[in-house]
Amino acid sequence: MSTQEQPPDQLPERFVRLISRLADETEANRVRWERGAAFDSYAVDVATVRFRVRSAPGNGTAPYLLEFLRDGSFVAPRITDGADPVEDQLIERLYTAARESAIRHSPDPFDAVERELGTTAPPSANE
């Protein structure tokens, strides 16, 4: 069986390397996450895979769940459950970076409303 045919669960070092790099790129602001549909859920598309990370209870606390969404294939989600402390720490790091990225890059929800209503403040003399 080739490396490409092996399920990711059989390649833990590959998983750690990929998720670590994704966290690095997110922390360096080179990957931008968005808020997911579910509360406390953050998602990003990288190549053909959509990564979604979220707090399982939905309140920003552990356990964290990392899902891989791709048409035509299934990759089991990963959850921080204490079975693998290295993986748990990495998923928690990715969750934190994704959350910060999504918040940092989210548009102000009232900008469009203010434009529509014509209530935007005039630019200041310093702008």
Q: What angle do CA 111, 114, 117 make, to 5 degrees?
A: 150
How close are the terminal C-alpha atoms of the chain, in Å?
A: 61
Closest CA to 64 of 48, 37, 50, 82: 82
- Domains of the chain: which residue ranges? 8-117
**How confident is the model at residue 114, as a pLDDT?**
84
73 or 36, greater pLDDT:
36
31 pLDDT more than 70: yes
Average pLDDT, the chain: 86
Q: pLDDT for 32-50, tens place per residue?
A: 999 998 889 999 999 989 9
Quote the DSSP letter at residue 9.
Answer: G
